[in-house]
Amino acid sequence: MSVTIAELPTPFVAVDLAKLTANIAAMQSLATSAGVQLRPHTKTHKSINIARMQVDAGAAGLCCAKLGEAEVLAEAGFTDLRLPYPVNPSNVARVQALQKKGVALSIIVDSLTVAEEWSRAMAGAPKPLEVLVKVDVGFHRCGIDPEAGSAVSMIRRVADLSGLRFRGLLSHAGHAYNAESIDALGQIAEREIEILRGLAARVRDAGVAVDEISVGSTPTARFITIQQGVTEMRPGNYVFFDRTQAGLRATAPEQCAMTVVSTVVSRPAAGRVVFDAGSKTLTSDGARGFGAVTGHGLVYPSLETSQPDPAIAIERLSEEHSVARVTAACALKPGDRVRILPNHACTVTNLADSLAIVEGTRVIERWPVSARGKNY
C-alpha cells in the first residue's frame, strides 16, 4: 500500500509492525529461557496473520476463547488448539468436526457432571477429547476449589472417564489485573504455582499422572522463571499491550503496538475536544494499573509524536464520540488527527474489520480480523 495513516478514514486501528514483532519475540524468548511452552491466546488479535507470526516464532500451539475462533484457525491450517474455556457438551458435533480436520483439540472442565456429559457425548468417537481441569487460584471466576476435600477425587474421576484423556491442570490468575504493585503481582504468581504444585502432588499421590500445568496471564508472565513446575504459559495481550498493561508495568507505552487513529470532530469549548472514536471503537472498558488510573485511553496529540500528552484526558464515551478534557493551551482543532492508546486492546480488536499494519506513519498492509465476532 502507498498510503499513510493521515489518509485512511478514521477511526481505525493501527498496529506498528516493528513493535508487534518485538513483543512476539520477547515473550517467546522469556518462555524459552524458562523452559516452558508458549501457547498464546489468540482472542487478543483474532488474526490469522498474527497467529502465524507467533507459531513461526516458536509457539507450541494456540489458545482460543471460543469454538468459533478455533474453527477459523483450523480452516487456516492450525492444528494444535486449546480452549481454556468451559465448553458445553452441546457443542460435541463442532468439537468432533475439528478433530476430523486433524486438530489436536483440548478443553477445560471444572465440573464432574459436565465432564461426565462430555464422556457420554464422546462415546464411540475415533479419538478421545483431551481435557484439563481448571483450578481457581484466586480470581474466583471458573475453576475448582483446590482446597476442597473433593478436589482430588473429582480429578481422579475425570481421568477415569472413557472418551476423555486427562492432561493436567490449568489456571488463570485474572486477579493480577487488580494488583497494586509489582511485589503484589509477584506474590500472586508465587501463590498460583504453590496452589497448582500442591494439588498436582496430591493428584499424583492418588495415582493419576499430571502431565501439564498451564498458566496464563500477561501481567504475571514476567514471573514465569520463578513458577517452577509450570509446563505452559498462555499470555495473550502481550502481542499489542495496552494502557492497562502499561499501568501494571508489564510494558511501557512506547512498546505498545496498537493505537487507534482518530480525528478531532469538534472543539466546542476551550477545555474540551471531541474525537470520532467512541465506544464502538475504543470500547467502554475502564483503565487499570498501579495507583489511580482513569479515563479511556492515552492520547498522542499528533501522528508523529512518540509521547502521550497527559493534559488530554478522555473522560467519557458515547457510541461515536470520545470527549476529552484539555488545557486551554491545547492547539488541537477540527480535522487534526491523534493516536489513542486504548485501555484494553483485546476488546478493540473485536470491533474492527481489519488492522492497519504500519511502519512509522506508512500503512504497508491491511490484515483482516479473521475471527471477529466469533464469540460463540
245 within domain boundaries: no
Q: Quick one: 196 and 295 in the same domain?
A: no
Q: Quick one: 159 and 257 in the same domain?
A: no
**Whole-angstrom distance, CA of residue 376 vs CA of residue 359:** 34
- Domain edge (last residue) among 206, 240, 274: 240
Q: Quick one: 170 and 308 in the same domain?
A: no
Looking at the structure of the chain, the number of domains it has is 2
β-strand pairing of 62-63 with 80-83: parallel
Q: Quick one: 286 and 320 in the same domain?
A: yes
Q: Quick one: 182 and 58 in the same domain?
A: yes
225 within domain boundaries: yes
Q: Which residues fall within 8 angstroms of residue 345, CB to CB, at 6 or more apart?
A: 44, 237, 240, 241, 242, 256, 258
Q: How far from 128 is each of 121, 211, 319, CA to CA, in Å? A: 11, 16, 46
Q: Quick one: 270 and 210 in the same domain?
A: no
**What is the residue-level pLDDT of the chain in tens, covering all 376 positions?**
679 999 999 999 999 999 999 999 999 999 999 999 999 999 999 999 999 999 999 999 999 999 999 999 999 999 999 999 999 999 999 999 999 999 999 999 999 999 999 999 999 899 999 999 999 999 999 999 999 999 999 999 999 999 999 999 999 999 999 999 999 999 999 999 999 999 999 999 999 999 999 999 999 999 999 999 999 999 999 999 999 999 999 999 999 999 999 999 999 999 999 999 999 999 999 889 998 788 999 999 999 998 999 999 999 999 999 999 998 789 999 999 999 999 999 999 999 999 999 999 999 999 999 999 999 9
Q: Quick one: 131 and 263 in the same domain?
A: no
Q: Quick one: 229 and 318 in the same domain?
A: no
Q: Quick one: 235 and 293 in the same domain?
A: no
CATH code: domain of residue 267: 2.40.37.20
Range of the structural domain that residue 267 is part of: 3-12+251-368
Q: Is the pTM of this model over 0.85?
A: yes
